[in-house]
Chain A
Amino acid sequence: MATNNMGPYSDEVMDHFTNPRNMGEIENPSAVGEVGNPSCGDMMKLFLKISDEGVIEEATFKTFGCGAAIASSSMTTELLRGTHLEDALRLTNQNIVDKLGGLPPAKIHCSVMAEEAVEMALKDYYKKIGKEESLVDDLKAEIKRERGE
């Protein structure tokens, strides 16, 4: 990360912290993903509206956490909008970090929390439509295999 005079975060992080995109709850969401808890220092709730075709039409968040956690949440909702839910699982925390112009090393976990929130939301969605939650784990494992991880 570049060292700047303004503070420890990139311009993108500051922008998403100052003007968070898609903040709030969705009424009757198709899925909710919740990770972390306030005693761990951060907590994120991701709300999704998913079409019958499996496209994420709306993604919003609520987050208790630091600047990096709020910016990661906000960026994640931006990246999710309009994607098919199976593609949503391809989103990695590194994508979020890159889009944010980098995060300090000690704050990488905030982007991991956002990636986990997507997984949790999709598990919730599968459960609601009567599918096995473990399908998400299977899909995630397959994506990782494809990437050679």
Chain B
Amino acid sequence: MSFIYIDNIAGTKPDVRVVEKMLPFISEEYGNPSAHFYPLGRRSYVAVEEARKQVAALVNANADDTIVFTSNGTESNNLAVKGILAVLKDKKHMIVSEIEHASIHNLLAKKVSEGYTYTVLKVDTDGKINLEDLKSAIRSDTALVAISHANPEIGVIQDIESIGKICEEKGIYLHVDAIASAGVLDIDVNKIKASTLTIASQNIYGPRGAAALYIRNGVKLKSLLDGGHQEGGYRSGSENVAAIVGFGEACKIAKEEMKIYVPNMQELRDKLIAGLRESFDFLHFTGSLEDRLPYHVSFWVEYIEGESLLMSYTQNGIYAASGSACSSNILAEDEEDLIASHVLTAVGVPTDICAGSMTMTLSKYNTQADIDHILEVTPKIVNRLCEMSPAYNK
């Protein structure tokens, strides 16, 4: 069955050039990059180091900064936050926004039992944090601030350079999760003044299984794993060479071609937003429409529930995502585990209504025909579910 893939925040389709570049490293180029004394191993080593340079270039890292390869964004975020806390032993306070990823929120919640405290910065209805709130949250024992550059669920982009400036002035580490923004926005770690920054391969047309943590020169952090010397001791264990090579190639392509595909994506996104806006007066967008990822559309519809909406889109060949409680953890053993998105509740969408939420995230592969199809079927889907809904009384 043909389909329209518009769930790119969950992972993009790897670029064919990325796949080609990877293929030798899952077959004949099987050398371990730590085996330097024969060509088979040495070629893997060189390939990993080339990828490291490509990742560094995408975020404009300096020669004396470090790029550590990890397995995914969650691991990079954990390495940054836990790694920094392990070094700054006397600083027991952290600051995050209320719309951070689960890898940050769940990590901090766990740290509380070890004597840590943290401040959660509220966001406004656009999803943006208030810089004055950040300034006043910083204490003498604050170890770090962890804020995402852009939010994957509601697409809002934070004023990360101002956040970086505040952290630098106060002498506090800043960890930036740039997974949602890498490959679409220019990321310059020098302008952001990030101490550490996460990007992931699967969101920039690379394979799953590789991500990176950028570490500014001078920032000390402790490895999560005990083991060998790989990745400068920051991440022990044999490297996933094929995924890393693919990730590097994906960074190279993104850096070269962003200027071409981002404006196209943004144009299609704007058409999708405009079309949806025209269709219903009870469809509401979430997250700032101005400071917004150029590939991101998120909305909720009154009277109808998100999982039904998501299933209906699927049946029409449109693969998207919902932040609804009902669709949150379908493999859970208990209904108590079905929880509406904390991001949507943070921007003031009532929990019953989060139910009807949708996130559509475009890639460089989406076309005008995709957008036309989505706009054609959406009224049919919404009308059908409204007709079924006892909450709808128009």
Contact = CB atoms under 8 A, between A and B. Distances in A.
A56 interface: no
A12 B315 CA distance: 15
Interface residues on B, range: 20 to 34
A121 interface: no
B78 to A, nearest CB: 27
Contacts of A104: 330-332
A64 B334 contact: no
A49 interface: no
B305 A8 contact: no
Contact of B308 (A40, A62, A70, A109): A70
B355 A38 contact: yes
Contacts of A65: 305, 308, 326
Given A65-B308, A107-B335, A41 B352 contact: yes
B337 interface: yes
B391 A43 contact: yes
B388 A20 contact: yes
Interface residues of A, number: 31
Contacts of A69: 305
A17 interface: yes
Contact of A40 (B315, B352, B353): B352
Interface string A49-91: 0000000000000111111011000000000000000000000
Contact of A39 (B311, B314, B332, B351): B351
A34 B390 contact: yes
Nearest to A45: B390
Interface in B147-170: none
Contact of A106 (B335, B350, B351): B335
B331 A42 contact: no
A41 B305 contact: yes
B335 A7 contact: no
Interface string B334-352: 1101101000000000111
Contacts of A94: none
Contact of B326 (A17, A20, A39, A41): A41
Contacts of B304: 64
Contact of B325 (A41, A64, A105): A41
A17 B355 contact: no
Interface of B: 303-308, 311, 314-315, 324-327, 329-335, 337-338, 340, 350-353, 355, 387-391
26 contacts: A18-B315, A23-B387, A37-B352, A38-B352, A38-B355, A40-B352, A41-B325, A41-B355, A42-B305, A42-B326, A43-B390, A43-B391, A45-B390, A64-B304, A64-B391, A66-B305, A66-B324, A66-B327, A67-B308, A69-B305, A70-B388, A104-B331, A105-B332, A106-B329, A106-B333, A106-B335
